[in-house]
Amino acid sequence: MSTLSGNYRWLDDEGTAFGAPGLEPRWTSSRKDAVGTAYSASSRVWYTMSHGTLNEIYFPTIDRPQTRDMELLFSDGDTFCHEEKRDIDYTFEYVDGAALAVRMQGQERGGRYRVTKVVTANPHFSSVLMHVKIEGEEEVLRRMKCYALLAPHLNGGGAGNSARSVDVAGKRCLLAWKDNTSLAMGADCGFTRSSCGYVGASDGYQDLFEDMKMTWQFGQALDGNIAVTGEIDVAMNREFTIALSFGEGHHAAVAGMLQSLATPFESHLKRFLLQWGRVSSPELLAAQATDEGWLARISHNVLLAHEDKTFSGAFIASASIPWGAARGDYDLGGYHLVWTRDMVQTATALLACNRDETALRALVYLASTQRPDGSFAQNFWIDGTPYWLGIQLDEVAFPIMLAWRLWKHEKLGSFQIFPFVERAVAFLVKYAPITQQERWEETAGYSPSTLAAVIAGLLCAADISRAHSSLELADFLEGYADWIEAHLEEWTTTSDGMLLPEVKRHYVRIQPPAPGEPFHDATVPVGSFRIANRGPEERNVFEAREVVDAGFLELVRYGVRRADDPLIVDSLKVVDHVLKIDTPFGPCWRRYNHDGYGQRKDGGPFEGWGQGRAWPLLTGERAHYEVAAGRSCKKLTTAMEKFSSKGGMLPEQIWDKADLPSEGMYHGRSAGAAQPLVWAHSEYLKLLRSLADGEVFDRIPIVAERYAVDADKRSFTNHKQIYSDGRAVRTVPAGYTLRIVDFERFNVVYTMDNWATKNEVHAKMVSQSVAYVDIPTEANQRGKIIFTKEWPQDETSDRWLGRNIEVEIVPA
C-alpha cells in the first residue's frame, strides 16, 4: 500500500487525523471503536462501523454518466445544485492570442450568479492552475458552496486509482496515486471539507445530487475507479485558485501543488504569457489564412504544446483519447503516444514555421528510438517503450525525409544522420514494396500512399549517401526506387473499377499481397482483403477494386507523379463520387468507403465498430493537390478553419450527416474522435506555407526532377527486376537484369542452360546490411535462370540455401 511519510496527516470522515490504515476491508478510520466506513471491492458494498457494530449501506445510484473529468459543482444546500457543464453557459476566449491560457465566462441559466475561470500552467512544475471568480446576487453567494470534482485516471487508466484526504501545512487537500504516479489537488484558500469515493456509488456527485448537501466525507478510497471532491465556501472566498499537480511520488505532487499556490495566480499568468510570446507563430503563414490567422496561431501553439517536457523532442499524436468517455482501460494508449508518422508531420509543419531547432529535437529523439534493424515501432510511449507492433513502411521512410530536409537546410548542427539513415533505408529495402500496414494502420499490401513515402525516402537516402561518399549505396537506392516507381500502376490500380461506371482504371486503397508474398491472408479470396471495425452483421471482406481512398495524392505531394497525370485525375473522380461529403462549411472526405472507424450511424460512440466519418486533414490534403495543380484552394482553406472548435481545435473526424442533437452531433462539427488531432493542425500549417511559397512545401525536388517529367526527359531507365527472399519474383523480362538482394554477405551460383554451365558471383556489399548480385539477360533470350545462394560463415564452412530457385525469362 502506498504511504506518505513526512509532516502530513491522513484525515478520516470527521476530519480527524490518523495513521495509515491497514485494516481489511479498507477502513477509512483506523479505530474500530469509532464511527467509520469501509468498502468491499469484491461485493462493491459500503459498510459503516459504529462502536463495533457493522451496518450495511446501499448508496442510491443517480442516472448520470459514470465517468468524470474535472469540473465544478455549485450548491446553496437547499434550492439548487448545478453542474457547470449542464447548467452554466460558458463563453470561451484566449487570454492572449499568442498563448494557450484560456478564459471562460459563464452565466447560470437562472441569472443568479456568474463564474469566470482562467486556466494556465506553472511551467516549472507539472501543475495546472485554474483561477475562479464568482459574482452574483449576494443572497445567493453567501449561502453557496463550490465543489471541485475530479476523477483521477493516472497512468492512463481509471482502474486501480487510490486517494486520501490530507492535511498539508494546515490546509485540507486531496492526494491521489497509482503505482509511482501521484496527483495533488488543492486550493489557495484550502478546502473546508473533502471526500474520496467510488464513481457511481459514493463520489461527490452522487452525494450532492441526492440532497444538495455534502453529507459524505470519506477519508479515502483505495484501488478503484474513484472521484475526489473538495469544498470551497464561496461566502468567504469569491475568488480562489485551484491547482492540480503531478509527480513521481506523493512528495513531488504535493510540493508542486504548494509551490504553485504560493505564487499569486496573476504572476503565473503574466509569466506564462511572456514565455509564449517568445515563440509567436510566423505571420507569413497567418497572411495566407482566410480567418486573419486565428487558427494558424493556435495550430502553431498546439504543436508546441504536444512536445513532452521530460523527453525532449517527443511529440504525441494528441492529448485526447478518442471516445474517451466510452472507453475503459482495455486500451491505455489513446493518442497520447508517439506515432512516427504523426510526429514527422508535426516536425515538418514546425519547419514550415521556421522552427528548425524544434524539428531537429524531434529527429534526434526518433534516432534514439530507432530499433537495431532500422525500423520504428508502430507507436510507443514517450520513453520509447513500444505499444503496438505493426510494420508500417511509411513510418520508416518519414524520418529519412525529415533528416534530408534538415540536412538540406543545414540545420543539423553536429548531429550525424548517415548511420541513422543507413539503418532505416536497409529496413525499407528488406520489406518494400509490401507493407504489413498502410497509413490507416489496418491492411497489408501495396499501398499508393506508403509507396509514395518509400520512393521519396529511398531517394532522400541516396542523396545523403552520395554526399557521405557512399556512392555504391546511392546508386543502389536510386535503382531500387526506380524499380518500385516503374511498377506503381501495376501494383496499385485496377482496370476493372466498379464504383464509377465511366472510370474503369483508377488507384485503389490497397492491393493485398498475393499467395506466397509477405503478409498474405489465406482466409480471404485472392485479390480481396478484410476491413477492420465493421459491425457485427456487416460484410467485411471486399475486393481491392471495390475500395478507394485518396492516398494516391501523396504521389503528387512528394513529386512522384504530376498533378495532371491522367490516372490521378481519373482516380480523383472516383474518390469524389464515393468519399466526398458536402458540409455547411465546405467539402470534406472520408478515409475510404466501408470504413468502420467512426461514430456509429445512430450517433453513438465508436466501440469496436462504427461508421468512418469525414476527416478535416483530408480537406487539407486535397487543398495541397489543388496547389500542385496551380488552382485556388481558398474554399478548402476556409473549410478547414471552420471545422475547428470554438477554441481552435481541429478534430480527427466531423459528423457528416444531418444534425443529431440528442447525441450532440452537428453537421460539420467534431464527432467523438480525437480533438485536437495534431496531424490535422500540421496539415493546415503546411498548407498555409505552401500557399505562401506558391508550391507544395512537402514536395521533394530530387523526386520530382526524376519522376514528374515526361518519359523522354527522364535521366534513367529501369531495366531491373529485383528478387529477395521476402518477395520471390518468378519472371524477368528479356533484356532486363535480375538483381538478387540479401541482407548479409552472400554468393550466388546460377545457370542459364540447366546446369550445362555453372556461374558463381560474389555479392557486392553496398552497406553493412545490404548486398546484391546482378545477372543480366539478352533482349532475345528465353529460358530460365536457376540459382541458389550460399552465405560464407568462416574460412572453413559455408551455409547454403539448400534448394534451387527458378526465374523464367519472358518477353519484355
Active site residues: 438, 441
Q: Are 147 and 204 in contact (CB under 8 A)?
A: yes
Residue burial 133-162, b: 16+ Cβ < 10 Å; e: rest? ebebeeebbeebbbbbbbbbbbebbbebbb
* DSSP conformation letters of 328-390: -TT---TT-SB-HHHHHHHHHHHHHTT-HHHHHHHHHHHHHH--TTS---SSB-TTS-B----
Mode of pairing for the β-strands spanning 17-18 and 26-27? unpaired
Q: Kindly give the residue spans of alpha helices, DSSP state H, lying in 611-733.
A: 616-628, 634-643, 678-693, 701-707
Q: Which three-class secondary structure state does DSSP give residue 140?
A: helix
Q: Are 719 and 509 in contact (CB under 8 A)?
A: no
DSSP state of 713: G
413 sits in the region (left: phi over 0; alpha: psi -120 to 50; else beta) called: left
Kindly state the cell numbers that stand for 378. 508502430
Q: Are 622 and 655 in contact (CB under 8 A)?
A: no
Q: Which of 384, 393, 334 is nearest to 364 (CA)?
A: 384
* DSSP conformation letters of 576-612: HHHHEEEETTEEEEESBTT---SS-TTSPPPSS----
Strand partners, 454: none
Residues 678, 684, 685, 686, CA torsion sign = positive
- State the residue for C-alpha cell 529477395: 724
How far is Cα 561 from Cα 555, in angstroms, rounded to an integer?
5
In 492-551, where do the E strands start and end?
493-494, 506-507, 528-530, 541-543
How far is Cα 429 from Cα 287, in angstroms, rounded to an integer?
42
**H/E segment holding residue 624:** helix 616-628
How far is Cα 74 from Cα 88, in angstroms, rounded to an integer?
10
Kindly state the cell numbers that stand for 125. 512544475
Q: Are 382 and 314 in contact (CB under 8 A)?
A: yes
How far is Cα 473 from Cα 524, in angstroms, rounded to an integer?
39
Other CB atoms within 10 Å distance of the CB of residue 780: 10
- State the residue for C-alpha cell 557521405: 468
Q: Which of 241, 127, 244 is nearest to 174 (CA)?
A: 244
Q: Are 185 and 199 in contact (CB under 8 A)?
A: no
How far is Cα 348 from Cα 227, in angstroms, rounded to an integer?
40
Edge-first strand listing for the sheet containing 145-150: 81-83, 71-75, 145-150, 226-233, 193-198
Other CB atoms within 10 Å distance of the CB of residue 701: 11
How far is Cα 119 from Cα 69, in angstroms, rounded to an integer?
15
Q: Are 494 and 512 in contact (CB under 8 A)?
A: no
Other CB atoms within 10 Å distance of the CB of residue 628: 25
Q: Are 495 and 504 in contact (CB under 8 A)?
A: yes
Q: Which three-class secondary structure state does DSSP give residue 90?
A: strand
Q: Which three-class secondary structure state does DSSP give residue 704?
A: helix
Kindly state the cell numbers that stand for 717. 531507365
